[in-house]
Each structure stands twice: as C-alpha cells, then as structure tokens.
Structure 1
Amino acid sequence: MVFLNLKSYIQHKDKWYIVDYKSNYLGDTYDQYSQTAMFDAMSDHHYFLQYHIYLVALHRNLGLRLKDYDYDTHFGGVFYLFIRGMHPDFASHYGVFYDRPTKSVINYLSDNL
C-alpha cells in the first residue's frame, strides 16, 4: 500500500496528529457539544472506526518515512473538531473530541488489516 496523499493530519513539534473537522448539528447551544454528546455522535456516525483506519494509515506511512519512528514518541493523538460547538471562550470543553489509542491497539489493527 502507498499513501501518497494522506490528508487530515498535522505535525506539531515532533508529534503527528490526526485532525478531522465535523459540521454535525448537535443542538443550538455550545453545551450541546459536550464530551458526552460528541461521544454519542462519534458512535452514531462510526467516527471511531474512521479514525482508527486513518491512524493505521498514518502509522504505516510514518513507519516508512521516519527512520526512527516510534508510535509512543511521534504520535500525539486524534482530534475531532465539531466546528458548530467550538468557541474560543470555552477552550476545549465544548466541540473538541480527543483520543489517543494505545500502541498495542494500533499495532494489532495494523497487523490484521
């Protein structure tokens, strides 16, 4: 497999992150974009599966590109940004979902996909 145009990732300092912007409507107020509400949306729309697939692709890509690649050292996490729920006054309390799967999970998925 070759990943020439892998999108939705950023590098900050020495770490790589997956970033995906979502425009899902979860309600009219910012508090309707709580961690619980976003978790439910992530589950309902299969975004957990989506980012694990993205992460396996990034993991493999970095393994080919970086001589000393190590998941624990170089991978920072996954951000799903629910843009309708984001506001600078709320920092990351609303509209920002973050996760960082363990190395063992990613190695298992990479070995079996």
Structure 2
Amino acid sequence: LHGLMANSPAFHELEKGTIALPEFLSAFQHELDLAGLSKNDIIAKEIITELFRAAVPRPHVLDALSKLRQAGFVVVALTNNFKVRKSDLRGSDMAQFDAVFDAVFESCVLVMRKPEPGIY
C-alpha cells in the first residue's frame, strides 16, 4: 500500500491542497479498484483513518527538537500533509508537535509537495 499511496495521483493532489478529503477518498478508492485491491476489502477511508491513528508525535523527537531550539537553532518543518478538520486530529498531540517548530511549511498550503523542486 505504501507504494500505491506514494504513486497515487489522488494522494499527491490531496497533499497539494487541490482536492478536499471527500474528493480524495472517492478518487483513491477508484485507484484501489483499478489496482484490484478493493477485492481484498481495502477501503480508502480505512487507510486514511489508520494514517490519523499513526500520526502521533514521538516524545524523543519532541525532546530533541526542543533541545535544538534551546541551543539557539531555528527549527522548521517542511511537510507533505493535507487539510483536515481539527476534530479529526488529536488536537493536544498535534499542538504539542507544532510548538517545537519556529515555522511549519505545509504542502497543502504551498500547493506543491516534496520532491517537487519548487517547494525547496
């Protein structure tokens, strides 16, 4: 599945913010169907739900980033992500994650994604 998502035109558009989550789910389900994966009961919405579940900050990473900032480094994030309702995320976990960065550059806001050269 990782390869399918990494090469998914629908997922790339979601990360660039050019389609919303409902449109992505429909398009990605179609991609799963074309790949023959829907026969294995793989459903686009379940994949996204699992991504949300797995997206939790790791305490040792937060600690390392905080130490870098305390040492005077500017800490930024460049992330491929997509727009979701705040209620879909564990707000406190994500707020804790955002707090360790001086700036966050998001693919869904910049309308381009890694590895597109323009995002760098």
TM-score (ref. length: structure 2)? 0.28
Higher strand fraction (1 or 2): 1
TM-score (ref. length: structure 1)? 0.29
